[in-house]
Amino acid sequence: MTSDVQVQALPAQGWRRGIDLSWPTFALLTLVLSVLVLLPLFWLVYYSFRSDTGGGATFDNYIALVVDPTLLRAYGLAIGMALAVGALACVIATPMAWLVARTDLPGRRTIRMLVTASFVTPPFLGAIAYEILAAPNSGIVNIIYRSIFGLEASEYLVNIYTFSGLVFAIACFTFPYVFTLVANALDRVPSDLEDASSILGGKSMTTLRKVTIPLVLPAMLAGTLIAILQALTMFGSPAILALPAGFHVITTKIWSLFQFPPRLGLAAAAALPLLIITVILLRAQKSILGRKGYTVLGGKSGTPRITKLGPWKWVAIAFVLTVLSLTIILPYLAILKTAFTGTVGDPINLSTLTLSHWRFVLFEFSATQLALRNTFLLGFLTATAVTAIALIVSYLVTRRSVPGSGFLGVLATAPVAIPGIVLGVGLFLSYANPTFQLYGTIWILLIAFMTIELPAGYQQMSSAFSGVHPELEEAGRIMGASRLKTLWDITAPLLRTSVVAAWCFVFVGTIRELSATILLTTANTKLVSVIIYDLNESGDLGAICVLGIILLAASFAVVFVANRVPVLGGSQMNARG
| Residues 16 to 45 in contact with another protein, rule: CB under 8 A | none
**Secondary structure letter of residue 351 according to DSSP:** T
Please classify residue 369 by burial: count the beta carbons closer than 10 Å to its beta carbon, then call 0-12 exposed, 13-18 middle and 19+ buried.
exposed
Q: Tell me if 173 contacts another protein by CB under 8 A.
A: no
Nearer to another protein, 383 or 530 (CB): 530
Q: How far is the CB of 451 from another protein (least distance, A)?
A: 20
Among the listed residues 53, 137, 351, 466, the single contact to another protein using CB under 8 A:
137
| Residues 532 to 561 in contact with another protein, rule: CB under 8 A | 534-535, 537-541
Among the listed residues 18, 95, 136, 569, the single contact to another protein using CB under 8 A:
136
Sign of the CA dihedral with 248 first, then 69, 73, and 425 last:
positive
Q: Tell me if 349 contacts another protein by CB under 8 A.
A: no
Contact range with another protein by CB under 8 A, out of 90-98, 223-231, 258-266, 386-394 = 258-266
| Residues 368 to 427 in contact with another protein, rule: CB under 8 A | 370
| Residues 304 to 343 in contact with another protein, rule: CB under 8 A | 343
Nearer to another protein, 46 or 258 (CB): 258
Q: In angstroms, rounded to a whole number, what is the distance separating the alpha carbons of residues 518 and 22?
A: 38
Cα–Cα distances in angstroms (integers) from residue 407 to residues 100, 142, 397, 414, in the given order: 39, 54, 8, 10
Whose CA is closest to 297, among 185, 398, 220? Answer: 185
Nearer to another protein, 76 or 467 (CB): 76
Nearer to another protein, 305 or 357 (CB): 357
Contact range with another protein by CB under 8 A, out of 115-123, 228-236, 363-371, 375-383 = 363-371
Q: In angstroms, rounded to a whole number, what is the distance separating the alpha carbons of residues 441 and 438?
A: 6
Q: Please name the residues in contact with 310: beta carbons below 8 A apart, sequence gap of 6 or more.
A: none
Q: Tell me if 206 contacts another protein by CB under 8 A.
A: no
Q: How far is the CB of 73 from another protein (least distance, A)?
A: 9
Q: Tell me if 244 contacts another protein by CB under 8 A.
A: yes
DSSP-assigned states of every residue in 183-218? HHHHHHS-HHHHHHHHHTT--HHHHIIIIIHHHHHH
Q: How far is the CB of 427 from another protein (least distance, A)?
A: 12
Q: In angstroms, rounded to a whole number, what is the distance separating the alpha carbons of residues 212 and 465?
A: 30
Nearer to another protein, 262 or 406 (CB): 262
Nearer to another protein, 228 or 367 (CB): 367
Q: In angstroms, rounded to a whole number, what is the distance separating the alpha carbons of residues 162 and 208?
A: 36
Q: How many chain residues touch another protein (CB under 8 A)?
A: 47
Question: Within 10 A of 553 (CB to CB), how many other CB atoms are there?
Answer: 10
Q: How far is the CB of 483 from another protein (least distance, A)?
A: 42
Question: CA 420, 175, 88, 77: dihedral to nearest 10 degrees?
Answer: 10
Contact 18, 10 (CB under 8 A): no
String marking each residue 56-75 x if it binds another protein according to CB under 8 A: --------------x-----
Nearer to another protein, 8 or 435 (CB): 435
Question: Within 10 A of 291 (CB to CB), how many other CB atoms are there?
Answer: 11
Among the listed residues 11, 246, 310, 566, the single contact to another protein using CB under 8 A:
246
Nearer to another protein, 50 or 248 (CB): 248
Whose CA is closest to 156, among 134, 130, 172? Answer: 134
Question: Within 10 A of 364 (CB to CB), how many other CB atoms are there?
Answer: 10
Q: How far is the CB of 88 from another protein (least distance, A)?
A: 23
Q: Which residues pair with 307 in a beta bridge?
A: 103
| Residues 518 to 537 in contact with another protein, rule: CB under 8 A | 522-524, 534-535, 537
Nearer to another protein, 363 or 560 (CB): 363
Q: Tell me if 161 contacts another protein by CB under 8 A.
A: yes
Q: How far is the CB of 469 from another protein (least distance, A)?
A: 51
Q: Tell me if 259 contacts another protein by CB under 8 A.
A: yes
Whose CA is closest to 88, among 227, 209, 219, 208? Answer: 227
Q: In angstroms, rounded to a whole number, what is the distance separating the alpha carbons of residues 494 and 382?
A: 23
Q: In angstroms, rounded to a whole number, what is the distance separating the alpha carbons of residues 402 and 404?
A: 6
Half-sphere exposure of residue 152, counting CA atoms within 13 Å on the CB side?
2
Q: How far is the CB of 346 from another protein (least distance, A)?
A: 9
Among the listed residues 6, 58, 103, 138, the single contact to another protein using CB under 8 A:
138
Nearer to another protein, 490 or 547 (CB): 547
Q: In angstroms, rounded to a whole number, what is the distance separating the alpha carbons of residues 553 and 569?
A: 19
Q: Tell me if 153 contacts another protein by CB under 8 A.
A: yes
| Residues 224 to 243 in contact with another protein, rule: CB under 8 A | 242-243
Q: In angstroms, rounded to a whole number, what is the distance separating the alpha carbons of residues 341 and 125?
A: 18
Q: Please name the residues in contact with 530: beta carbons below 8 A apart, sequence gap of 6 or more.
A: 371, 514, 517, 518, 521
Cα–Cα distances in angstroms (integers) from residue 488 to residues 382, 495, 503, 532, 535, in the given order: 20, 10, 17, 40, 45
Question: Within 10 A of 255 (CB to CB), how many other CB atoms are there?
Answer: 20
Q: How far is the CB of 126 from another protein (least distance, A)?
A: 19
Q: In angstroms, rounded to a whole number, what is the distance separating the alpha carbons of residues 515 and 124?
A: 10
Q: How far is the CB of 371 from another protein (least distance, A)?
A: 11
Contact range with another protein by CB under 8 A, out of 53-61, 180-188, 431-439, 449-457 = 431-439
Q: Tell me if 245 contacts another protein by CB under 8 A.
A: yes
Q: Tell me if 354 contacts another protein by CB under 8 A.
A: no
- Per CB under 8 A, residues contacting another protein are 70, 135-138, 153-154, 161, 242-248, 252, 256, 258-262, 343-345, 360, 364-367, 370, 432-434, 437, 439-440, 522-524, 534-535, 537-541
